[in-house]
């Protein structure tokens, strides 16, 4: 086992049984009767990832003394929605298709990715309609629509260096924190009632998800593709002005600002993220962004200290640590 | 009013009030608080189209003596799902983006279309969770997943000239007839019960939708872009081997078969649909396909003659006529 999977196994230990059930549900759902679809869901299934969102459903349930037989299903549904968003994130526009020609299956990729994502969403909603309570359907359809709005806004605010920190956080919150938040709230509240602790865990999940997104944005600027295990520097490439860059831009002189804008927009620049680090000192921006992420994590931790001590609560506290240490 | 909208107004007259309520619900749902999203939903709203699926919910409800205050909402939900599929149908793969460069907004189109479609799906499911019965959520999430499977299968069976008529109909059914079928069943059954007439209307909708798809495939080969109001000849271009072509291919000699395959696949052919009509006689295939569509329509009509006479039943019968006369 790698160090990383050892950490995950330890963190998820309090809900080991639930995670195993969740994975079985997920497999059943991905295993569609049509061969054509099965090929693709098998492929998606291999991208299993951390399954952190599913684990949060179960851990928040345990930590707030609220676990039902249906929690594993709820966790699988949350994970399927996350998978659908991942699949749809891979849709490229024309320019990118050309730029990334080598790694894209030309005749196939976009259309099938759209349909596969749609299939995963539909299956997730379908499964949620079989639950005994409507809370999961309601909360997750709201969350999904919020998530899309966040992504659309992000897309329309590309190359916008005047974005305020509040706008950045609103958008990052909608696109990332909303699903974390729904996962935590569902864990604490499903099938219903439990409003107080549900609200608490909802806020816990929101701050955790927002911190996660900020750190993700920091890493996209600082890590190499090998360290990250996915393409680095893509935010600058895609015109996304993330929190570290906003901080640097805000306090830069007009010359540096122009240079930053140029790096994002001028034609023919090969490695925009590296070039960005050359035209300005990203250090203060990166540090300020990490400070903000750590403040959010501190708020997270304070929220759950009021819960009774339990292995699940300990795991949640450890998750917040690992996220700040960039190990999750 | 054009001849076309006059026909629609007459057909939908028995459910005029419901259609007006449906449109109000649709507008409310598309009118999202974020400016960025509103721009796009306004755009989608303008593509209003016939709203035939919504009308089928209401007409089938009326015709089977089953109308509730919530039928207009159900109709709006069905229409939103249809809109989402239309938006996602516009996602192009790399090759097409290049070929259709002139009409595609390069930097924007695909990603935003994916998100907007997702938003519409999520809103549709979200709205369905506010209904008093879970039937709509259940039926429409199943339908959406079936619909995606149909589209995925179609995509994997491109350039497959060995496709049987049964496979073609299974795929066309899943991608098109399933939503017609769900619309008709929901009209007759929502909020629940009414199994017998629900089953009847489900079959009515399935045959109607399948006939509609077959005729659509015929028109794509026979009409010009102006007559059609959308690009003609796209099926051949996209590698879709539709029923008329399957019929022709099946009874062609090996030389003609090779010529047909070439027209679909050889590089550098400008207008593949026109070229196809040159290398083989499409006539018998087109006529056989239309015969199949008319048989399906005849089955449709027989299904609903058992319903009590009413203006809604008359409208449903007229819809089946207009579909075969290619006027809907």
Using one digit for the tens of pLDDT, what is the confidence trace for A47-89?
A: 667 899 999 999 999 999 999 999 999 999 999 999 999 888 8
- Residue matched to tokens 């050309």: A98
In chain B, which residue's Cα lies nearest the Cα of A34? Answer: B149
pLDDT of residue B92: 62
- Mean pLDDT, to the nearest integer, of B254-277? 94
Q: What is the ipTM, given to two decimal places?
A: 0.91
Considering only the beta carbons, identify the residue of A121, A129, A138 that sits closest to B118.
Answer: A121
Determine the residue among B125, B173, B192 to mutate to test chain A binding: the one whose Cβ has the most chain A Cβ atoms within 10 Å.
B125
Tell me the nearest-neighbour CA distance from B105 into chain A, angstroms.
Answer: 9
Here the CATH number for the domain that contains residue A104 is 1.10.600.10
For residue A86, count CB atoms less than 10 angstroms from its CB and return exposed for 0-12, middle for 13-18, buried for 19 or more. middle
> Comparing A85-94, A186-195, B315-324, which segment has the lowest mean pLDDT?
A85-94
How far is Cα A248 from Cα A130, in angstroms, rounded to an integer? 49
Return the half-sphere exposure (C-beta side, CA atoms, 13 A cut-off) of residue A236. Answer: 26
Whether the CA torsion A192, A193, A195, A196 is positive or negative: it is negative
- Which 3 state secondary structure label does DSSP give B326? coil
Question: What average pLDDT does the structure give for chain B?
Answer: 90
Q: What is the domain range of residue B19?
A: 3-324
Query: What single-letter DSSP state applies at residue B14?
Result: G
3-class secondary-structure state, position B252? coil
Contact by Cβ (8 Å): A12, A55? yes
Q: Which of A136-140, A292-296, B81-85, B227-231 has the lowest mean pLDDT?
A: B227-231
Percentage of chain B surpassing pLDDT 90?
A: 72
Task: Determine whether the interchain pair A88/B114 forms a contact, defined as Cβ–Cβ distance below 8 Å.
Answer: yes
Those residues whose C-beta lies under 8 Å from the C-beta of residue A37, and which sit 6 or more positions away, are: A116, A119, B149, B152, B153
Encoded tokens for A21: 């059930």
> How far apart, in whole angstroms, are the C-alpha atoms of residue B277 and residue B287?
14
Q: Any residues with CB less than 8 A from the CB of A268 and at least 6 apart, and which?
A: none
A114 contacts in chain B (CB < 8 Å)? 88, 91, 114, 117
Secondary structure class of A225 (helix, strand, coil): helix
The two most distant CA atoms of chain B are separated, in Å, by 61
Chain B residues in contact with A34 (beta carbon < 8 A): 149, 152-153
Q: What is the pLDDT of residue A226?
A: 73
A41 upstream amide cis, omega within 30 of 0: no
Q: Which of A94-108, A272-286, B293-307 has the lowest mean pLDDT?
A: A94-108
The token pair that represents A298 in the structure block: 């501190």
Give residue A247's region: left, alpha or beta (phi > 0; psi -120 to 50): alpha
Contact B126 A145 (CB under 8 A): yes
Indicate the pLDDT class of residue A247, thresholds 50, 70 and 90. Answer: very high
Assigned token pair, B224: 């010009």
Alpha carbon distance B53, B55 (integer Å): 5
For testing the chain A interface, which of B33, B115, B128 should be mutated: the one with the most A CBs within 10 Å? B115
CA A258/CA A285 separation, integer angstroms: 17
Which residues 6+ apart lie within 8 Å of B207 measured at CB? B177, B296, B297, B299, B300, B303
Q: Could you give the CA distance from residue B211 to residue B290 in angstroms, rounded to a whole number?
A: 9
**Could you tell me how many CB contacts below 8 A there are between chain A and chain B?**
176
Taking the CA of residue A253 as centre, how many other CA atoms within 13 Å lie in the half-sphere pointing to its CB?
Answer: 2
**Does B99 score more than 50 pLDDT?**
no
Dihedral over Cα of B211, B217, B218, B219: its sign:
positive
Is residue B103 pLDDT above 60, yes or no? no
| Token code pair at residue B55 | 């009308």
Helix, strand, or coil (residue A72): helix
For residue B119, list chain A residues with Cβ-Cβ distance below 8 A. Answer: 145, 148-149, 152
Paired tokens of B83? 């809109």
Alpha helices in A64-164 (DSSP H): 71-89, 94-99, 109-128, 135-156
Instruction: Give the pLDDT of residue A59.
Output: 98
Among candidates B37, B137, B149 on the partner chain, residue whose Cβ is nearest the Cβ of A37: B149
**Which among A94, A126, A134 has the least Cβ separation from residue B104?**
A94
| Tokens representing residue B33 in the block | 């608080």
CB A178 within 8 A of CB A143: yes
**pLDDT value for B98:** 41
What Cα–Cα distance (Å) separates residue B321 from each residue in A237, B55, B56, B64, B308?
54, 16, 15, 20, 19
* Binary contact (B95, A107; C-beta < 8 A): yes
Residue at token pair 């207008």:
B271
**B93/A101 CB distance under 8 A:** no
How open is the CA angle A140-A208-A70, to the nearest 5 degrees? 40
Query: Which tokens in the block code for residue B310?
Result: 């009413």
Look at residue A110 in the predicted model and tell me its pLDDT.
79
- Helix or strand or coil: residue B11? helix
- In angstroms, how far is CA B138 from the centroid of its own chain? 20
Count of domains forming chain B: 1
Distance from CA of A82 to the nearest CA of B (A): 13
- The pLDDT, as a whole number, for residue A99 is 45
Q: What is residue B231's predicted lDDT score, i.e. its pLDDT?
A: 73
Q: What is the average pLDDT across B63-92?
A: 92
How far A311 CA sits from the closest chain B CA (Å)? Answer: 35
Q: For residue range A178-225, what is the model confidence (pLDDT) as tens digits?
A: 999 999 999 999 999 889 999 999 999 999 999 999 999 999 999 877
């Amino acid at each position: 086992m790698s160090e990383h999977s050892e950490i995950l196994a330890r963190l998820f230990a309090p809900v080991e049984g639930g995670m195993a059930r969740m994975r079985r549900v997920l497999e059943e759902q991905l295993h569609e009767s049509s061969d054509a679809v099965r090929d693709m869901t098998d492929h998606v299934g291999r991208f299993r990832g951390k399954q952190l969102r599913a684990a949060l459903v179960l851990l928040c349930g345990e930590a707030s003394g609220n676990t039902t037989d249906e929690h594993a299903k709820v966790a699988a549904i949350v994970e399927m929605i996350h998978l659908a968003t991942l699949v749809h994130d891979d849709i490229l526009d024309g320019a990118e298709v050309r730029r990334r020609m080598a790694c894209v299956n030309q005749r196939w990729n976009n259309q099938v990715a759209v349909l596969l994502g749609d299939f995963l969403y539909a299956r997730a909603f379908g499964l949620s309609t079989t639950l005994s309570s409507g809370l999961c359907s309601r909360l997750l359809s709201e969350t999904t629509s919020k998530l899309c709005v966040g992504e659309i806004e992000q897309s329309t605010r590309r190359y916008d260096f005047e974005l305020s920190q509040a706008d950045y956080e609103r958008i990052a919150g909608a696109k990332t924190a909303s699903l974390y938040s729904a996962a935590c709230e569902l864990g604490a509240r499903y099938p219903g009632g439990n409003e107080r602790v549900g609200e608490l865990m909802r806020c816990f999940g929101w701050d955790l998800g927002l911190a996660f997104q900020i750190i993700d944005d920091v890493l996209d600027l600082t890590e190499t593709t090998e360290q990250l295990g996915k393409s680095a520097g893509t935010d600058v490439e895609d015109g996304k002005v993330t929190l570290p860059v906003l901080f640097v831009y805000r306090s830069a002189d007009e010359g540096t600002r122009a240079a930053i804008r140029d790096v994002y927009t001028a034609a023919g620049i090969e490695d925009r993220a590296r070039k960005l680090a050359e035209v300005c000192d990203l250090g203060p921006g990166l540090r300020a962004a990490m400070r903000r992420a750590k403040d959010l994590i501190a708020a997270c931790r304070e929220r759950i200290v009021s819960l009774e001590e339990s292995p699940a609560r300990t795991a949640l506290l450890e998750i917040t640590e690992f996220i700040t240490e960039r190990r999750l």
